[in-house]
Amino acid sequence: MAELVIEQLTKSFDGAEVLKELSLQIQEEEFVAVLGPSGSGKSTLFHLIGGLYEPDTGAIRLSGENINGQKGSVSYMPQSPSLLPWRTVLDNVLLGAEIAGRKDQQAAVQMMEKAGLSGYEQSYPYQLSGGMKQRAAFIRSLLSPQPLILLDEPFSALDEFTRSEMQKWLLDIWHQNKRSILFVTHNIEEAVFLADRILVLSEKPANVIAEFQVDFPRPREASITLTEEFLRFKRDIYKVLKKHE
Ligand SMILES: Nc1ncnc2c1ncn2[C@@H]1O[C@H](COP(=O)(O)OP(=O)(O)O)[C@@H](O)[C@H]1O
Ligand SMILES: [Mg+2]
């Protein structure tokens, strides 16, 4: 059974449709990237899966269970890091695990070190740069125990080098502890490098206009981005996006 099944999801705001009969599925342990122009409804889709919004029509099921409007079923990293200002960075990073009753301080400290946040454990969010906040929110979602992780443009605030480090690290972590990942990005190269499968969304009202299976063997090295096959993916996806502008 697929981990996540979304059927015919429709969502409007003030009469304007943002998602229209959008359907998709994610298998257990699958890494799926959602690629679409900005304003197409990607974050709205995540708000719906995360239970922050309710759909007008359609179904969202996780391992067979209806999760429409239900918070806490998935681990969710929103597009804006939304750290709690009154908690230290370490306590922010531990929030999801703590709510689930699985707080592991040592794992959190190790992850912060990996993400270049060592020494900031007892700092407060206002003391961090935008990119550091994003990395903290990213770790928080990884430390939450749910079997499906939603990542909404998790690396958009990072410079090219840090972004590439974080991508490799994410793949390592996912390799060691396989879960389903739904990853929103507007970066074609990032989608091809990370995902098993890429869903391309149309402009709003969004629905899935193309799907690409990406079968590069894992573990993946950054050098695959220079191969002919990788460039072909980039061209093909770019064409689909262009055509629907
Ligand atoms: N709470 C809301 N109220 C009204 N309009 C919204 C709301 N959330 C999103 N929208 C609209 O939905 C569209 C898609 O937004 P969003 O899902 O954030 O796109 P993306 O993440 O793909 O950039 C935008 O036109 C945005 O203005
Ligand atoms: Mg968005």
Per residue in 39-94, pLDDT tens? 999 999 999 999 999 999 999 999 999 999 999 899 999 999 999 999 999 999 99
| pLDDT of 244 higher than 80 | no
Residue 176 — very low, low, confident or very high, per pLDDT cuts 50/70/90? confident
Nearest to 194 by CA among 235, 228, 158, 153: 153
| pLDDT of 14 higher than 70 | yes
Question: Phi/psi at 129 (nearest 5 deg)?
Answer: -75, 170
Domain borders along the chain are 1-74+146-245, 77-145
**Residues with Cβ within 8 Å of residue 69, at least 6 apart in sequence:** 51, 53, 54
Question: Which atom number of ligand 1 is nearest to the Cα of residue 152?
Answer: 21
Does the beta carbon of 131 sit less than 6 angstroms from any atom of ligand 1?
no
Q: Which residue has the higher pLDDT, 44 or 176?
A: 44
> How many Å lie between the centroid of ligand 2 and the Cα of residue 97?
25
pLDDT digits (tens, 9 = 90+) for 183-213: 999 999 999 999 999 999 999 999 999 999 9
Does the beta carbon of 204 sit less than 6 angstroms from any atom of ligand 1?
yes
Q: For the domain made up of 1-74+146-245, give the CATH fold.
A: Rossmann fold (3.40.50)
> How many Å lie between the centroid of ligand 2 and the Cα of residue 92?
22
What are the tokens at 123? 């700092």
Residue 177 — very low, low, confident or very high, per pLDDT cuts 50/70/90? confident
**Residues with Cβ within 8 Å of residue 185, at least 6 apart in sequence:** 33, 34, 35, 153, 155, 156, 191
Does the beta carbon of 144 sit less than 6 angstroms from any atom of ligand 1?
no
pLDDT for the residue 2: 62
Does the beta carbon of 75 sit less than 6 angstroms from any atom of ligand 1?
no
Which residues, chain by chain, have CB under 5 Å from ion ligand 2? 42-43, 79
Q: Whose CA is nearest to atom 4 of ligand 1?
A: 13
> How many Å lie between the centroid of ligand 2 and the Cα of residue 155?
12
